[in-house]
Every structure is written in C-alpha cells, then in structure tokens.
C-alpha cells in the first residue's frame, strides 16, 4: 500500500473499430468450419478487420482523439503516451510515437509501447498510475490497439476464428478532487507457459553464420491449454482481488472482462454471482481484439447506455505471456 499518492482520474475513454465485417459464414469460404461450431464454442458471430492501408495506428489514433475530446484536455496537456499492442503494424517506431505525431502531441513527450497482449490496458493503467501517483507526470494518454488480422495464419482455423481488430483509449490525469478512480489494480505474469500463445519474429541467420530458413511469422496458439489455464485461474483471481480491495462482489456495479471466449466470461460471472445486466459482452460482434478488448467494451457499453456512469466496474484480462490483471475502477460522469 502506497501512502500519500496523488489520486488518478479516468477523464475520458474512446474506441474505434474498422468497418469491414467478416462473419462466421464468410470464414467457411476459407476452411472447413461453421457458424454453429464457432458460436457455441466462443460466442463469436462476426469480427471487424482492417482493410487497405488501415492499421492499428489509425484505429488507435481515432480512439485516442475521442478519449481526449471527452477528457476535456488538449494535446498540449498530455505528458506521456503509452500504447499497448500485441499485433502492431510495425515493431518500431512504437505505435505510441506514431500516434503522438498524428495527434500533434508535443514532440518531447515520452511515448512508448508495451507488450502484455490482452492484459495490455491494465498493465498500461498500472504504469500510468505509478507515474501520476509519484507526481512525475500529470496526464497520460493510454491507447490499446491491435490489427491481429494481418498476423494470423488464415489457414489455421483454430486461431483465426477468434481474433478481430480494434482500438480503445483512455486519458488519465491527476485527480483534482481527491477521489482516486483506480480503487485497486493488480498485474501478473507467468512466463513459464509463454509458448501457449506466441507471435514469432524468428527471421533468419546472417548467411555468414549458418544457414537457417526463414520461419513463418504468425500468431500461434494452443487454444485448449489457454482455455484450461484461464478457466482455472481467472474466476478465483477476480474473486480474490475484490476481497483484497476490502470489497464484496455485490458492491461493484459491472464486470468488464477481456472478450476472448464467452464461456470464460460466464465462468467469472458465475463466480461473482452477477446477473447478465452487470456483465459487458460484445464478443459476438468483434471477437477477441486483444489489447483493445477491455477499453473497447468499456467505451462502447457506456456509449450505448448499457453501463451507467457514476458507477464502479471490475476490469479483468489475460493474454499471451501469459499475463493477466484486474482493476476496480470508478466510471465518472462525462468520460464517454
């Protein structure tokens, strides 16, 4: 527990999704699958995919502009940009640097990417919280964006059915009323099971060293083992997090989970004893948008009026690493 920290305000959230829709039925043109198989196992009916030159940078930039507008801050107020991405259009420059330039955020402001896969927003919030709490920076733009569709093997029917593209963003700033919008936050990792989901960038050796064929560079996932690990870990983790925060599940208004598989979401929901109204799900329309999944679900559900503001929510996610994390947050009026 850190004492005398500067509290943090979640000032604005935004999201952006590409226009192109690919349904489960569309996927039957690529390989042997069916809408029924995909929907019953995952809860997904369709996903949005980038097209043409559109990338996670464009989606992230649009989500960030919306979050900034809602926050009431200006680009000059932003002291740092952190971007969470696991399927970026380029490894460097960082997406955060690209977005800084696109938005006209002052040129000397630090901007960097983090890789915590689908837990990325929670990791980014945790980093931002440290900087704001210490007084080192006041206002930080967080962007979570992924263009998974460009890094999937579209012949791998087990992984490619799951993912979609999208972006979410959040502006956090030092709170001026003493209220901390992050009631509790926690991040975890277990690298010993890192091979369960990976995106190799193996390249090939220098020809002067020894021959080594270039390997395909696609998202690889052991879906069954990921499922088992998460189903075993997440519900209990979320329950313990609430307990450690000194709260009861019924005191929190909404569950806004990572949208990876509806059955995993339902397992967490069941553990918390929440009704469907308290649980945000949009996986049916977007699939798993990796880092973007939680902020996209948050911003869209607020915009649609499914999540009322002036409320509290528990966010939770897991992803490659394996990483996982959770945050209990206040959602103030006006953030979306």
Residue among 126 and 261 whose Cβ is closer to ligand UT7: 261
Asked if 118 touches ligand UT7 (CB under 6 A), the answer is yes
Asked if 294 touches ligand UT7 (CB under 6 A), the answer is no
Among 50, 64, 199, 260, binds ligand UT7 (CB under 6 A): 260
In the complex, least distance from residue 259 CB atom to ligand UT7, rounded to whole angstroms: 9
How far is C-alpha 2 from the chain's CA centre?
26
Binding string, residues 207-246; x marks residues near ligand UT7 by CB under 6 A = ----------------xx-xx--x----------------
Residue among 227 and 303 whose Cβ is closer to ligand UT7: 227
Asked if 33 touches ligand UT7 (CB under 6 A), the answer is yes
| Dist. CA 115–CA 239, nearest whole Å | 26
Cite the beta strand spans of the chain per DSSP E: 8-16, 20-23, 46-49, 80-84, 111-114, 139-146, 166-174, 182-189, 197-198, 220-221, 254-257, 311-319, 323-331
Helical ranges in 208-307 per DSSP H:
223-244, 262-272, 283-286, 293-303
With beta carbons less than 8 A apart as the criterion, state whether 313 and 331 touch.
yes
Residue for token digits 């980038």?
50
| Dist. CA 229–CA 323, nearest whole Å | 11
32 Ramachandran zone, left/alpha/beta (phi>0; psi -120 to 50): beta
In the complex, least distance from residue 118 CB atom to ligand UT7, rounded to whole angstroms: 4
Asked if 139 touches ligand UT7 (CB under 6 A), the answer is no
Asked if 42 touches ligand UT7 (CB under 6 A), the answer is yes
Rounded to 5 degrees, what are φ and ψ at 150? -85, -10
Instruction: Show Cβ contacts of residue 243 under 8 Å, excluding neighbours closer than 6 positions.
Output: none
Asked if 145 touches ligand UT7 (CB under 6 A), the answer is no
Residue for token digits 């369960």?
196
In the complex, least distance from residue 265 CB atom to ligand UT7, rounded to whole angstroms: 10
Show which residues are catalytic. Answer: 118, 258, 288
In the complex, least distance from residue 255 CB atom to ligand UT7, rounded to whole angstroms: 17
Largest Cα–Cα separation, the chain: 63
Distance between first and last Cα of the chain: 30
Closest residue to bound ligand UT7 by CB: 223
In the complex, least distance from residue 275 CB atom to ligand UT7, rounded to whole angstroms: 24
| Dist. CA 327–CA 236, nearest whole Å | 14
User: Which two tokens mark 129?
Assistant: 């919280």
Interface segment toward ligand UT7; rule CB under 6 A; list 38-46, 72-80, 143-151, 232-240: 38-46
In the complex, least distance from residue 21 CB atom to ligand UT7, rounded to whole angstroms: 18
Asked if 261 touches ligand UT7 (CB under 6 A), the answer is yes
Among 166, 257, 295, 319, binds ligand UT7 (CB under 6 A): 319
Binding string, residues 48-77; x marks residues near ligand UT7 by CB under 6 A = ------------------------------
Q: Which residues bind ligand UT7 (CB under 6 A)?
A: 33, 37-38, 41-42, 118, 157-158, 161-162, 197, 223-224, 226-227, 230, 260-261, 288, 319
């Amino acid at each position: 527990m850190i004492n005398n920290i500067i509290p943090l305000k979640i000032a604005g959230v935004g999201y952006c999704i590409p226009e192109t829709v690919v349904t489960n039925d569309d996927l039957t043109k690529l390989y042997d699958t069916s809408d029924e198989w995909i929907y019953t196992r995952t809860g997904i009916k369709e996903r949005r995919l980038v097209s043409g030159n559109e990338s996670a940078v464009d989606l992230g930039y649009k989500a960030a502009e919306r979050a900034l507008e809602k926050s009431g801050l200006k680009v000059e107020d932003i002291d740092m940009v952190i971007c969470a991405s696991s399927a970026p259009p380029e490894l460097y420059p960082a997406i955060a640097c690209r977005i800084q330039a696109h938005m006209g955020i002052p040129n000397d402001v630090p901007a960097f990417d983090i890789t915590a896969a689908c837990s990325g927003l929670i990791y980014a919030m945790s980093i931002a919280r440290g900087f704001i709490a210490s007084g080192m920076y006041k206002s930080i733009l967080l962007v979570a964006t992924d263009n998974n569709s460009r890094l999937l093997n579209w012949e791998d029917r087990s992984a490619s059915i799951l993912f979609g593209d999208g972006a979410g963003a959040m502006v956090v700033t030092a709170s001026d009323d003493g209220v901390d919008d992050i009631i509790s936050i926690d991040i975890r990792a277990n690298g010993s099971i890192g091979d369960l989901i990976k995106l190799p960038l193996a390249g090939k050796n220098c020809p002067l060293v020894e021959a080594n064929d270039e390997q395909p560079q696609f998202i690889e996932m052991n879906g069954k083992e990921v499922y088992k690990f998460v189903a075993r870990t997440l519900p209990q983790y979320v329950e313990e997090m609430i307990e450690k925060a000194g709260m009861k599940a019924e005191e929190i208004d909404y569950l806004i989970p990572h949208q990876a598989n509806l059955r995993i979401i339902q397992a967490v929901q069941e553990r918390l004893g929440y009704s469907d109204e308290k649980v945000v799900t949009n996986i049916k329309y977007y699939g798993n948008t990796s880092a973007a999944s939680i902020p996209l679900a948050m911003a869209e559900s607020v915009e649609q009026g499914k999540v009322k503001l002036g409320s509290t929510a528990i966010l939770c996610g897991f992803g490659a690493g394996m990483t996982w994390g959770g945050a209990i947050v206040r959602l103030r009026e006006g953030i979306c």
